[in-house]
Amino acid sequence: MLIRKPADLRYSDVTPKELYLNRRRFLAAGSAALGALALPPTSNAASLSFSKSSYTVDEKLTPKDDVTHYNNYYEFGTGKEEPARYANTLITSPWTVEFGGMVNKPQKLDITSIIKIAPLEERIYRHRCVEAWSMVIPWIGLPLSAVLKQVDPKPGAKYVAFQTLHDPKQMPRGKYAGIDLPYVEGLRLDEAMHPLAILAVGLYGESLPNQNGAPIRLVTPWKYGFKGIKSIVKITLTDKEPPCTWNITNAREYGFYSNVNPQVDHPRWTQASERRIGELFKRKTLPFNGYADQVAGLYSGMDLRKFY
């Protein structure tokens, strides 16, 4: 197995003691070497190290217990606490991601190869679910752009399609999910190349728990959480807008772009405010989830009510 699982690996095991004792002070010091994920002694893979990224918000982290026990992962049940209870049937090692479609270098890569493509970074991102709750999560991942550059998209490629594993044996509750499986998602290529878009392999200093999308999932913090497709097995470059699970399920409620937009309500509830998990009072939702300065340019000239 590549990375020790959270059950036998604590944040204190993988984090410099000073950081563990006084995380805030360490962050303020702006040190580059943030920590390292330890590997079992039998593993022949190099140990993972990650540094703190400047793509980070300075907001109170959502407790790890909430991040890992209040989830959406319909393949393991539609209740918020079900993924944590049932996703232990997911086999995450060995694992390969198949890169194909309109690329010059189609390839299958295991997780060890993917995390060698670019240095791993810890990025604290806001996470806004379309259901109007939000969290602040310290992800560990690498830029999606670095991975896509390695497979070398062909000039005609315009979109990136993602697919989750679907194995009814490992995901027996999937048949009650009410959505077509495998779960699929898509981005425009320029969105996928944006520096904020990452492939995450960990959170809170540890490899991803299964319920959060182990061993590798997408994180696009300016979009609603459902774009963050989990347990990815396939990434395909294409010239056509790829199908997206929630858009297929209910196109009136969920569009392709799914950018966080407080001015465009969900047909059944407002998107103007959100409940930050762990907080009593609602807060205002920010355009593009607070990342407008960085991403609004991707959509200049587009009517965001039409392209929701």
Q: Is 202 in the site for ligand MTE (CB under 6 A)?
A: no
Q: In sequence order, which residues have a C-beta less than 8 Å from that of residue 167 and are 6 or more positions away?
A: none
User: How many alpha carbons fall within 13 Å on the CB side of residue 276?
Assistant: 18
Report the residue from 75, 121, 122, 274 that binds ligand MTE according to the rule CB under 6 A. 75
Residues 248-307 that bind ligand MTE (CB under 6 A): none
> Please, which residue, 26 or 231, has the CB nearer to ligand MTE?
231
Report the residue from 50, 74, 139, 308 that binds ligand MTE according to the rule CB under 6 A. 74
Residues β-bridged to residue 275: 133
Stretch that binds ligand MTE, among 18-26, 222-230, 251-259, 274-282 (CB under 6 A): 222-230
**C-alpha gyration radius of the chain:** 19
Q: How far is the CB of 92 from ligand MTE (least distance, A)?
A: 13
Report the residue from 141, 153, 186, 228 that binds ligand MTE according to the rule CB under 6 A. 228
Report the residue from 15, 134, 164, 220 that binds ligand MTE according to the rule CB under 6 A. 164
Stretch that binds ligand MTE, among 55-63, 92-100, 190-198, 226-234 (CB under 6 A): 226-234
DSSP 161-188: EEEE---TTT-GGGGGSSS-SS-EEEEE
Residues 123-152 that bind ligand MTE (CB under 6 A): 127, 129
Alpha-carbon distances, residue 128 vs 82, 182, 195 (angstroms)? 20, 23, 18
Stretch that binds ligand MTE, among 40-48, 72-80, 100-108, 139-147 (CB under 6 A): 72-80
Report the residue from 95, 125, 204, 226 that binds ligand MTE according to the rule CB under 6 A. 226
- How far apart are the C-alpha atoms of 131 and 136, rounded to whole Å? 16
- How far apart are the C-alpha atoms of 118 and 110, rounded to whole Å? 14
Q: How far is the CB of 202 from ligand MTE (least distance, A)?
A: 12
Q: How far is the CB of 257 from ligand MTE (least distance, A)?
A: 15
Sheet strand arrangement including 96-101: 107-110, 96-101, 232-238, 159-164, 184-188
Q: Are 189 and 172 in contact (CB under 8 A)?
A: no
Name the nearest CA neighbour of 109 among 100, 120, 121. 100
Q: Is 86 in the site for ligand MTE (CB under 6 A)?
A: no
- Chain residues that interact with ligand MTE, rule: CB under 6 A: 71-75, 127, 129, 164, 183, 212-213, 225-226, 228-231
